[in-house]
Chains A and B, each alone.
Chain A
Amino acid sequence: MKVGVVRFPGSNCDEDAVLGVVEHFDADAVLLWHKDHDLQGSDIIILPGGFSYGDYLRSGAIARFSPIMQEVVAHAKRGGPVIGICNGFQIACEAGLLPGALLRNESLQFRSMPVTLRVESTDTVFTRAAAKGARLTMPIAHGDGRFTADEATLDRLEGEGRVVFRYVDADGRPTDDANPNGSMRNIAGVANDGGTVVGLMPHPERAMEPLLGGTDGKVLFESLFAMTQV
């Protein structure tokens, strides 16, 4: 298995994603430069966190037009797994790989803190190994994380089981207090209609070492490798 991590100008979680993969799984990982057209044979693509192109215009709006994104979109259309983390989620939405948009946090504050997520769907290649309803703790670090879509789209996502993660409190309830950015319906992550593309604002790649506060992020990659190694 080979994981390709796209490096945009301003990416800052690309190395973390590479390390997270190669140190914990029997897989290779390569950095893919945004100006290239070659996925170098990657089976899985990670769009990492950061501030690609300085978040100019809108978060993810310019990165979407990077040459490599044409290949990433083609890979996704073939059913290839893609995960967009934080800025990568914003880019995936701008590129039309996922529905909705990520707007400025309701608080107008940059939020860097651990959050509790509830696994809402295990019908994706990144959550197959998780238990539905399980609670995961991962860090967030973003200013533009407020998931927004029109009501019809939200209803469709819910109906099709494409809401993957929700922000919840310690009792597992999706309350306003547990929502760090004002996301509609406490949505922290969504999937495409095939469950092969997932985007989320929290950082699973920063939740893979006990020393760094927990290992709950590993289940996303365990899901992925368990499935693709068959």
Chain B
Amino acid sequence: MKHFRVSVHIVPRKGLLDPQGKAVADALHTLGFGGVGDVHVGRHLVIETDAGDAKGAEASVREMCARLLANPVTEDYEIAAVVAA
């Protein structure tokens, strides 16, 4: 078994109302960042886990997302990085 750090991005599902994202976008516009379009506020998790290889670590974290880390009704997730630690 090796040790891995797996990073996950969890974001509100596209098309769903995201009032936090809108509030941040409005604030950025106020600061003069006129090029900013939509902003999506989600969560970034770093999971430290043991696994046989990187593929196994990613598969394990995908299952964690499906069962707990992301809400299947309202959120999407993507594995951002799998790093041997």
A interface list, Cβ under 8 A from B: 57-58, 61, 65, 93-94, 99-101, 103-108, 146, 148-150, 182
Contact = CB atoms under 8 A, between A and B. Distances in A.
Interface in B1-47: 12, 16-17, 19-20, 23, 43
Interface of B: 12, 16-17, 19-20, 23, 43, 68-69, 71, 73-74
Contacts of A107: 19
A118 to B, nearest CB: 23
Contacts, number: 36
Contact of B19 (A57, A61, A65, A104): A104
Contacts of B17: 103, 106, 146, 148, 182
12 contacts: A57-B69, A61-B71, A100-B73, A101-B71, A103-B12, A103-B74, A104-B19, A104-B20, A108-B20, A108-B23, A146-B17, A149-B73
B74 A101 contact: yes
A93 B74 CA distance: 12
B68 A57 contact: yes
A58 B73 CA distance: 12
B19 A148 contact: no
A65 B64 CA distance: 13
A133 B74 CA distance: 30
